[in-house]
Amino acid sequence: MKNTEFTRRAFLKSGVATSAALAAAPALLNGALAQEADLAPYKAAKIDWQQFKGETITVAVIPATYFDNLITLAPQFEALTGITVRFEKIPPAQIRQKSVIDLTSKTGTYATHAADPMYYSLYAANKWVEPMEAYLSDASLTDPNWFKLDDIVAAWRNANSVDGKLLGMPYDGEVTLQVYRKDLYDAKGLKPAEDLQTFVSNAAAVHNPDARVWGAALRGVAGAGQNVYIYSSLFREFGGQWFKDGRLTVNGPEAEAALTWYVDLMRKYAPAAAQNWNWPDIADAFSQGTIGTYVDAHSSASVVNNPEKSKVIGKVAYARWPKGPSGKRVTSIWNWGFPINAALPDKRKKATWFFIQWAACAETQARTAHRFAGPAKRSGVNRISIWQDPAYVGLMRGFGDNFVEATLASLQEDTDVDWRPRVPQWPAIGDTLATAIQSALAGQATAKAALDEAQRRVEPMMRG
């Protein structure tokens, strides 16, 4: 208890220190003072930010703190460019559908939107969004020495590219990590798992339901972004290939082995309800001290370290995804990116690029993260340089042991652009695969039967 109180204070202190540093920052982060904001870091770019003055664009985002921070700073963008930005907040469950409807109709309602990387193949097949190379290579639109595209997490850029063409600029993202109870592991002499076999044995060692501690939990609820989010990494780690002889294949020995591992872990060491849990449910359970370890987005660290709710602050540590039998670590790499709607008039496309460039540049990333005046500090910044910035690193270390090191290593090394099959038919295929996984987790079908049925349903989709 004493140790917990100490580390809880240390964690809170890290946030206070950041806020104190902000008081002396040159940037004025209050929207009401935007006209007086220090725009000098942006004007260092050798471009005319005012060349599209008078344009108005609408940007669709989800209700999330990382976008709220950006919205707060939008008056600075308007002062810099003379471009007016309207934001529309749309829940995650609807933003994909509304964006596709807008792109299909070619009305150009949304100049850009928070886009799911799994949708870019669909966008590319229909030419709904603009490849960004023309904007990046035009000296009147982009100063490459100022924007530094290569500083943006390569895995997220690759995830947003189709046939080598970047279609969406990463703004905020995540990577999956192993999150574990350091105190429980230390008591048993355990180390974080280097491979999936050790992950299971660690779960078994700390599993004690009589004391309301379950060994592990993974997302179980059905959904292309839920149970498929976990399964796809396992599939690749077991050596699975989405395409065999040019044919999308979701069944076979590697798929069965991956799903069987998933099912066995959940049945033996997860609470029974976990088969219907999404990531917030797991993070909440972990924060209450009832889960020994889980694998999920690194951003869930903010939940398990919520000082108002968590009982495990100071007891949390992180490690990279355990290796699979193939010897690979495969994170569920993901990000929200901004594409340019191809239906816009040319001048508005370029105005939209200015917004995207502003949102993704290092200065705005820092102002919406560790230098943001509000209480929410982003943990999904897109810049490697910020992940190496002592001010940002100092804040992130408050989440627990090895958080920054594990996250940065995963972002740079544990990626696989083919983590999921990037095909235009993905939305329907993802839902089909989610149903198969859920039926296996629920014991309604064997792994083989569930995946064979998924394969039978997927094949007509690929024939169009």
Q: Centre a 10 Å sphere on the Cβ of residue 339 and count the other Cβ atoms it contains.
A: 28
Taking the C-alpha atoms of residue 323 and residue 339, their distance in angstroms, rounded to an integer, is 33
345-350: Cβ within 8 A, 24+ apart: 345/108, 347/52, 347/55, 348/52, 348/55, 348/57, 348/108, 348/111, 349/111, 349/130, 350/51, 350/52, 350/135, 350/141
Which residue, 176, 120, 99, is CA-closest to 426? Answer: 120
Q: How do the pLDDT tens digits run along the chain, 464 residues long?
A: 222 222 333 344 444 223 222 323 333 344 435 555 689 999 999 999 999 999 999 999 999 999 999 999 999 999 999 999 999 999 987 999 999 999 999 999 999 999 999 999 999 999 999 999 999 999 999 999 999 999 999 999 999 999 999 999 999 999 999 999 999 999 999 999 999 999 999 999 999 999 999 999 999 999 988 999 999 999 999 999 999 999 999 999 999 999 999 999 999 999 999 999 999 999 999 999 999 999 999 989 988 998 899 999 999 999 999 999 999 999 988 999 999 999 999 999 999 999 999 999 999 999 999 999 887 889 999 999 999 999 999 999 999 999 999 999 999 999 888 889 999 999 899 999 999 999 999 999 999 999 999 999 999 999 86
Q: Are residues 338 and 328 in the same domain?
A: no
- 3-class SS shares of the chain: helix, strand, coil, % to 5: 50, 15, 35
**CATH number of the domain encompassing residue 303:** 3.40.190.10
Does 31 reside within a domain? no
What token pair was written down for 278?
A: 């999404």
| Domain end residue (candidates: 342, 376, 398) | 398
Does 214 reside within a domain? yes
Q: Are residues 237 and 313 in the same domain?
A: yes
The 3-state DSSP class for residue 24 equals: coil
Does 247 reside within a domain? yes
Q: Are residues 436 and 324 in the same domain?
A: yes
Which residue, 453, 460, 415, is CA-closest to 434? Answer: 453
Domain that holds residue 416: 174-333+406-462
DSSP secondary structure string for all residues of 72-137 = HHHHHHHHHH--EEEEEE--HHHHHHHHHHHHHHT----SEE-B-GGGHHHHHHHT-B--SHHHHS
Q: Centre a 10 Å sphere on the Cβ of residue 391 and count the other Cβ atoms it contains.
A: 15
Taking the C-alpha atoms of residue 195 and residue 215, their distance in angstroms, rounded to an integer, is 16
Taking the C-alpha atoms of residue 31 and residue 7, their distance in angstroms, rounded to an integer, is 34
Which residue, 59, 26, 40, 38, is CA-closest to 146? Answer: 40
Q: Are residues 307 and 446 in the same domain?
A: yes
Q: Of all helices (H) and strands (E), which one includes residue 269?
A: helix 253-269
What token pair was written down for 288?
A: 């209450």
Q: Are residues 163 and 149 in the same domain?
A: yes
Number of domains in the chain: 2
Does 417 reside within a domain? yes
Query: Could you give the residue ranges of the DSSP H alpha helices within 106-249?
Result: 120-126, 133-136, 144-147, 154-159, 182-188, 196-206, 227-237
Rg (CA), the chain: 22
Does 126 reside within a domain? yes
DSSP secondary structure string for all residues of 325-346 = TTS------EEEEE--BTTS-H
Taking the C-alpha atoms of residue 372 and residue 15, their distance in angstroms, rounded to an integer, is 11
Q: Are residues 132 and 230 in the same domain?
A: no
Does 242 reside within a domain? yes
Region of residue 108 (left: phi > 0; alpha: psi -120 to 50; beta: else): left
Residue 69 near residue 39, CB atoms below 8 Å: no
Taking the C-alpha atoms of residue 42 and residue 416, their distance in angstroms, rounded to an integer, is 33
Q: Are residues 204 and 307 in the same domain?
A: yes
What token pair was written down for 167?
A: 């279609």
Q: Are residues 197 and 249 in the same domain?
A: yes
